[in-house]
Structure 1
Amino acid sequence: MKKVFLLYRNAFGGLSKPAWMMSVVMLINRSGAMVTPFLSIYVTDMLGYTLREAGIILSIYGMGSVCGSFLGGWLTDKIGHFRVQFVSLVLGGCLYFVLLNLEQFAYLAAGVFILSLVNDMLRPANSASIAHYAKPENMTRAFSLNRMAINLGFSVGPAIGGVLAAFSYHWLFVADGATCIAAGIFFFVYFRNQQGHQPIRQKPDAATSAITLRSPYRDGYFILFVVLCSCFATIFFQLFSTLPLYYRQVYLLPESRIGTLMALNGLIVFLVEMLTVYLLGERAKKSILIAAGLLTLGVSYMLLNLVHHLSVLYISMLLLSIAEILAMPFMATLTVERSDAGNRGAYMGLYTISYSAAHVVAPFLGTTIIAAYGFATLWWAMGAMAVVTAAGFRWVIGKLEQEKREAHQKQSIAPVQV
């Protein structure tokens, strides 16, 4: 027990206070994350829309997420990560109170789009903020700390949301909005006097790598990396779109049980991710860890077809959580390493767009396959997609690392300018 305690202490040691406070902000915010996990059930059961219409609503949510990620990354480089995060948290919280009153399909779709746009402005700004406050040697652990807070909140949010939904789905919107605003207030109070709010303007010099000076939209290998991240997220985001429907329609689980199952994901990641990153982060190649995460993710879905028993749902969720732990922290670190302070907002914006695009594709693809062929075909398809994506990551990360080594070699032999 003492050794385990020391491992956890070492895993959390050396992280800056602002990095901890940023995680507190995300914990408050995600503790109210109740609308997204239950949105597909809300649209079908409460509002009476079809499965295909629910898929359209969720895809529109993803479109707003794509636009929000792009806008958030652009604004971060223009006005700084502090302002973007504060506006996103407070305005996004207010929009939940508007959305709960929208039921007509067109208004609901518009409300979902605007809400997700504002909410996802937070993501690239938050990532740039973490990269700014973290020490270089602790970058992956700083991102993992932030994700740990998100997942702890996510282990609380859906569980409480499942209970609230049994009374009224309106309480989900109220709780989600209130926690967003509370997180915004806490963020403003602590970070308003911190250094580094303004965007950094860097001029090219001989010591700056040509790789980090280019736009991410002209960085070919990074764009391929982003496409693969989107493929990963498309598979992973079945957790939020089709898995709740599977639990409800195939296993006939109530909202409270569905909330508990989904909260298990956040709890596992909260307990295990920091320790895993600490033990494996410097010992294994990122390409191997990410590929292993993809393969584990594929197995988590295919397992649902192999055994039809309630216990399999928990085993599948465990594997899905392990996959998340192995892949996501190192994807974020690779993105930070590919950028510099002057264009980090743009790089993190494009990286988060990969997840936002998956919010468009995942629900539409999932519900379309289910409607045409059933859940079993969907799970086989996700498993096959995971294998192909794992191979793609192994190749493209190798290219990114090779290009980085070549750039460093050119710098080391370049003549010194006086």
Structure 2
Amino acid sequence: MASARSAELASTRHRLPARLRLLIAARAVNQLGAFSLAFLTVLLNRDLGASLPAAGAISGLFGLATIPSRLLGGRLTDRWGRRRTIVVGLAGCALAQLGIAAAPDLAVAAVCCVLLGLAFELYEPPSQAMIADGVAPADRASAYALLTTALAVGNMGAGLVADLVGRSSLRWLFVVDAASCLACALIVRLALPEDRTRPQPPSEQPQPQSAPVHSPWRDRSLLTMTAAGTVFALVSMLMLVALPLSLAADGLDPATAGLLMTASTVTLLLARPALRLRRLADLTPGAAFAAGYLLMAAGLAGYALAHTLPALLGPTALYALGNLLLMGRSFAVVSDLAPPGTSARYLAVYGLSWGFATVLAPPLSTALLDAFSPAALWSAMAAICLAMAVTQPRLLRRLAAS
């Protein structure tokens, strides 16, 4: 009995098909270069002469462009296939980043920023759809968690690369980021199976009336999950944007945020094996969401009270543990909602939550920090997480009953 249970709780990584392990590895390679955007506003301001408001507005245009990019990624996946859409998206990102690196003036850089936004999310829906369709429904949450953990590891390495490369020129950051996109595209092109777009013979083609068209925009369950996902994404993006500003307001070096993010990633890596423990593996989705949001709330409340680097490490670990419980679960729920053959479109709509959060978080965090103290911002975010700890399980119960 014990051996059977151990086999059941074996690592998801070992249950994943080889093509999905390669996809996750390729995305981690790509993430090693995903540090340039943090310096986009600085590059526009310092190297290309934009005022801070103008640089912020151009960065906001990038965020807006990611919203149609996500929807286009879902559409292209249906038309072109998954591998082709991933490769085109990554190649488009690389070309736009090289354009930013070589931009002779602000106008060219602004156009390249918008082009980067339009390509930036193309590869997310096909990547997530491959995971949704490549594992059993019970393993989807763990598979998505493995993807987000791999991306977190890539982020940790990205910070080290950024520190080394950025000392010479910020433009080189975008060159290295472009190289990581091309490396990821090459791995995907060579390692993943070819898209099957061969038309069926007339005798094998389904009758039009036998396959109803499912529009994700008419699925109330999906739209409800997207609204809840937007709250989670907004908290995550506020954390990312507000942390350096909060540290500066407390008299600490804003670069300390990099150390705290590294500590968060280390916590994720060390704690991830605990997800295979029976008590955690048997958590219902509602219980996992409640526990995850409660841990995030505790971490954010700790940030409101802490004012030194050692004191901030404990709240960082709590916040990371909460994220660990939530990682991938929403994507798994959305994948379960999608009718056969529509997972890419469903995940594309759900992914808009991050596009909205990317647009809202910078102006919202700066406005709140300007009007109130950092402690007030962290306390408000903790209150939001407490509310989600109650709301999200009820939402899941309603979806299960519908």
TM-score range, shorter chain: 0.7 to 0.9
1:63 correspondence with 2:56 = no
- Residue aligned with 1:240, SS: helix
Aligned residue number for residue 234 of structure 2: 234
- Comparing 324-333 with 387-396, greater Cα deviation is found at 387-396
Contact 1:130 1:143 in 2 (8 A): yes
- Comparing 74-83 with 310-319, greater Cα deviation is found at 310-319
- Comparing 309-318 with 262-271, greater Cα deviation is found at 262-271
- Cα distance, 1:337 vs. partner? 0.6
Q: Which amino acid aligns with 1:162?
A: D
- Residue aligned with 1:241, SS: helix
Aligned residue number for residue 371 of structure 1: 370
Q: Which amino acid aligns with 1:180?
A: C
1:224 correspondence with 2:217 = no
Q: Which amino acid aligns with 1:373?
A: F
Aligned residue number for residue 190 of structure 1: 191
- Cα distance, 1:127 vs. partner? 0.3
Q: Per-residue CA shift, 1:365-404, capped at 9, x if unaligned?
A: 112212333433322222222222333312211111112x
Aligned residue number for residue 348 of structure 1: 347
- Cα distance, 1:12 vs. partner? 3.2
- Comparing 193-202 with 127-136, greater Cα deviation is found at 193-202
Contact 1:141 1:278 in 2 (8 A): no
5+ residue gaps, structure 2, are none
Q: Per-residue CA shift, 1:38-68, capped at 9, x if unaligned?
A: 4456566777767765654443332122111
Aligned residues: 394
Aligned residue number for residue 144 of structure 1: 145
- Cα distance, 1:102 vs. partner? 4.7
- Residue aligned with 2:297, SS: helix
5+ residue gaps, structure 1, are 404-418
Contact 2:29 2:183 in 1 (8 A): yes
Question: In 2, distance between residues paired with 1:254 and 1:371?
Answer: 16
- Comparing 115-124 with 96-105, greater Cα deviation is found at 96-105
- Comparing 144-153 with 160-169, greater Cα deviation is found at 160-169
CA 1:383 to 1:53, structure 2 compared with 1: closer, same or farther past 3 Å?
A: farther
CA 1:204 to 1:388, structure 2 compared with 1: closer, same or farther past 3 Å?
A: farther
- Cα distance, 1:29 vs. partner? 0.4
- Cα distance, 1:19 vs. partner? 1.4
- Comparing 274-283 with 231-240, greater Cα deviation is found at 274-283
Question: In 1, distance between residues paired with 2:265 and 2:285?
Answer: 22
Question: In 1, distance between residues paired with 2:394 and 2:374?
Answer: 31
CA 1:133 to 1:196, structure 2 compared with 1: closer, same or farther past 3 Å?
A: farther
Contact 1:100 1:173 in 2 (8 A): yes
Contact 1:68 1:116 in 2 (8 A): yes
Question: In 2, distance between residues paired with 1:197 and 1:319?
Answer: 46
Counterparts of 1:173-184 in structure 2 under 5 Å?
A: 173-184=174-185
Question: In 2, distance between residues paired with 1:150 and 1:15?
Answer: 17
Q: Per-residue CA shift, 1:62-103, capped at 9, x if unaligned?
A: 212211111111211222211110111122122112123458
Contact 1:7 1:275 in 2 (8 A): no
Q: Which amino acid aligns with 1:336?
A: S
Aligned residue number for residue 263 of structure 2: 264
- Residue aligned with 1:394, SS: helix
Aligned residue number for residue 35 of structure 2: 34
- Cα distance, 1:277 vs. partner? 6.0
Question: In 2, distance between residues paired with 1:96 and 1:392?
Answer: 40
Q: What is the percent sequence identity of the aligned residues?
A: 23
- Cα distance, 1:23 vs. partner? 1.0
Q: Which amino acid aligns with 1:218?
A: R
- Residue aligned with 1:13, SS: helix
CA 1:295 to 1:137, structure 2 compared with 1: closer, same or farther past 3 Å?
A: closer
1:328 correspondence with 2:327 = yes
CA 1:217 to 1:186, structure 2 compared with 1: closer, same or farther past 3 Å?
A: same
Question: In 1, distance between residues paired with 2:39 and 2:314?
Answer: 21
- Cα distance, 1:182 vs. partner? 0.7
CA 1:6 to 1:397, structure 2 compared with 1: closer, same or farther past 3 Å?
A: closer
- Residue aligned with 1:100, SS: helix
CA 1:12 to 1:118, structure 2 compared with 1: closer, same or farther past 3 Å?
A: same
Contact 1:73 1:125 in 2 (8 A): yes
Contact 2:141 2:329 in 1 (8 A): yes
